[in-house]
Amino acid sequence: MMWQAFAAEFRREWITLRRYPTEFFGELVVVVVIFYGLFLGSSYMSGGGIFGARLSSVILGYTLWTLSLAAIGNMGYSISNEAQNGTLEQVFLSPVGAVRILVLRNVAALTFSMLFTVLVIYGIMGLTGHFLPLSPIDLVPLVMAVGTAMGIGFLIASITILFKRTNQLLGLLQFVLLFIIMTPFTTFHGPLQYLGIIAPLSPMVGLLQSMLVDHQALLTAPGDWFWWGFVNVALWLGLGIAVFSRAYERAKTRGTLGHY
């Protein structure tokens, strides 16, 4: 049954992409152009531009930000759209279960999100003329980042179940998440270094920078950010699922699950 549910969600994503290709490519162009505009603006204001390791860090952070927003949005917007279409109760009455359906839906969308992310990073590198040594192993931190983003997505979905409309919250979350990703938590020392472990996506940012900027191997990157990344995923994904389950029970008790 799980495989059938996953196949159905994957087919749903594929049909949506085929039916509305302009949405995919339009968003791709917008994301790349926005970064290039920020790059030109910062170069003009600084009078010399951003180069070397700093530009690599900015490219990695921006790319990880777009991937995380896609994973989080799949959760929040999915619940909101189901409520608007009047099919939210059907999702929760499914034999597979709402949590599993949302996870499978996000995993199915992961393939297309990864394709989108790869196209974004190559588009940015082409426009800036700054190329990073990408390899298939670099997908590991990105997949880990999706796990953390899914946990945050469950938190947003929990609020959506109770209050139904969270578009403005998702818009605010974009800037909060960008601030977290661009803040170098992994370079902090003393008690503040623990923020690099618990802050969403911070270990993945540190791991990607070690691999692509400092040319370190995945398992030997300094700071043990590969292993701390699993802690980060478990923390936020576990918290998200726990809060989502609690919100679902509360909405069911109040009888507002199918409201919009």
Nearest to 158 by CA among 228, 250, 68: 250
In this prediction, residue 234 carries a pLDDT of 92
In this prediction, residue 45 carries a pLDDT of 56
Q: Which residues have a Cβ under 8 Å from the Cβ of 119 and sit 6 or more positions away?
A: 28
Q: Which domain holds residue 83?
A: 2-254
Asked, for residue 82, whether it belongs to a domain, the answer is yes
Find the distance separating the first CA and the last CA of the chain, reported in whole Å: 29
Asked, for residue 259, whether it belongs to a domain, the answer is no
Asked, for residue 76, whether it belongs to a domain, the answer is yes
In this prediction, residue 121 carries a pLDDT of 82
Cα 185 to chain center, whole Å?
Answer: 18
Cα 34 to chain center, whole Å?
Answer: 18
In this prediction, residue 258 carries a pLDDT of 58
Give me the number of domains the chain comprises.
1
Asked, for residue 73, whether it belongs to a domain, the answer is yes
In this prediction, residue 113 carries a pLDDT of 79
Asked, for residue 156, whether it belongs to a domain, the answer is yes
Consecutive 10-residue averages of pLDDT for the chain (260 residues): 73 80 81 76 58 69 81 72 67 70 77 81 79 77 85 84 71 80 77 80 83 73 78 90 85 66
Asked, for residue 260, whether it belongs to a domain, the answer is no
In this prediction, residue 167 carries a pLDDT of 67
- Measured between alpha carbons, how far is 116 from 101 in angstroms, rounded to an integer? 22
Asked, for residue 15, whether it belongs to a domain, the answer is yes
- Exposed, middle or buried: residue 242 (CB in 10 Å: 0-12, 13-18, 19+)? middle
Tell me the three-class secondary structure of 105-126, residue by residue.
Answer: HHHHHHHHHHHHHHHHHHHHHH
- pTM of structure: 0.80
